């Protein structure tokens, strides 16, 4: 076993323990799905995680993700797109992703729908305070229109919501707002049961607020470096 294999096995066990403890604290079954966020890390790390049992991976850049997906076609992986997505990348992303978690505007829904490949989507909900800069996600006023556009695109299967807690805000509050938005989505879309919330430093609050999926990068793979 290589040193990297040992490190990733240890990190994965620690993250799974933390997820299970958070489920216990919230009186929930151990049914939270781990999405390993592998951005900036090589395909070889994803192969190691796969051998350890990980099936869902999250990436935020099309070019990088597509190259890794091509290198790992022999694995039964589920690719989640979790970053800002340009309309002109919709076709590319739909060619290897099973889930786009960051659907946040009607134009992107039209572009993804026009590709025609059936794909699961989550609506990314903005958790930023109303008077602050929006760091991604649909604002609650614009949610009904986005849902209507998704309903009209038959290739898109709405599975739920996604959110990123703003830095410096109370994560418990942020994830409560996400759960509230989720209730609005469920009303009329009873099959949209997923809540993707929680990263390395706030997963316990996300799980307390009902997260079905957590997106974990740093705690699994280490601090990201952007200069390699
Ligand atoms: C990078 C990223 C994550 C993972 O964050 P960590 O703090 O490294 O666990 C989760 N979600 C999104 C949207 C990301 O961009």
Residue 155: its pLDDT value, please?
98
Cβ atoms 52, 8 nearer than 8 A: yes
* Ligand 1 atom 14, closest CA: 82
pLDDT digits (tens, 9 = 90+) for 168-185: 889 999 999 999 999 999
The sign of the dihedral angle between the CA atoms of 184, 186, 192, 196 is: positive
State the closest ligand 1 atom to the C-alpha of 136, by its place in the atom list counted from 1.
13
Distance between CA atoms of residues 13 and 224, nearest Å:
20
User: Does 218 sit in the ligand 1 pocket, CB within 6 Å?
Assistant: yes
Structure confidence at residue 106 (pLDDT) = 98
The predicted structure's pLDDT at residue 136? 86
| pLDDT at residue 228 in the model | 53
* Ligand 1 binding pocket includes 84 (Cβ within 6 Å): no
Q: Which residues of the chain have pLDDT under 70?
A: 227-228
Q: What number of residues does the chain have?
A: 228
pLDDT, residue 227, reads 65
* pLDDT given for residue 108 in this prediction: 98
Give the strand pairing for 99-103 and 33-37: unpaired
The predicted model scores a pTM of 0.97
Whole-number pLDDT of residue 154: 97
Protein residue closest via CA to atom 13 of ligand 1? 82
Write down the pLDDT at residue 164: 96
CB burial string 56-80: b at 16+ within 10 A, e below? bbbbbebeebbebbeebeeeebebb
């Amino acid at each position: 076993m290589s040193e990297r294999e040992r490190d990733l096995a240890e990190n994965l066990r620690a993250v799974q323990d933390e997820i299970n403890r958070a489920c216990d604290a919230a009186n929930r079954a151990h049914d939270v799905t781990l999405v390993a966020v592998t951005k900036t890390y090589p395909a070889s790390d994803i192969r190691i995680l796969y051998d350890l049992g990980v099936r869902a991976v999250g990436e935020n850049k099309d070019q990088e993700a597509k190259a890794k997906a091509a290198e790992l076609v022999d694995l039964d992986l589920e690719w989640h797109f979790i970053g800002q997505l340009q309309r002109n990348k919709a076709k590319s992303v739909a060619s290897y992703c099973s889930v786009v978690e960051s659907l946040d505007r009607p134009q992107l829904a039209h572009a993804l729908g026009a590709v025609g490949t059936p794909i699961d989507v989550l609506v990314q909900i903005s958790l930023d305070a109303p008077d602050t800069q929006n760091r991604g996600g649909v604002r609650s006023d614009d949610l009904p229109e986005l849902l209507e556009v998704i309903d009209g695109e038959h290739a898109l299967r709405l599975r739920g919501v996604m959110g990123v807690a703003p830095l410096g805000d109370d994560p418990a509050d942020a994830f409560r707002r996400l759960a509230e938005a989720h209730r609005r989505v469920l009303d009329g879309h009873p099959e949209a049961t997923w809540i993707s919330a929680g990263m390395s430093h706030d997963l316990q609050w996300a799980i307390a607020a009902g997260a079905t999926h957590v997106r974990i990068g740093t705690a699994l793979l280490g601090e990201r470096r952007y200069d390699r």
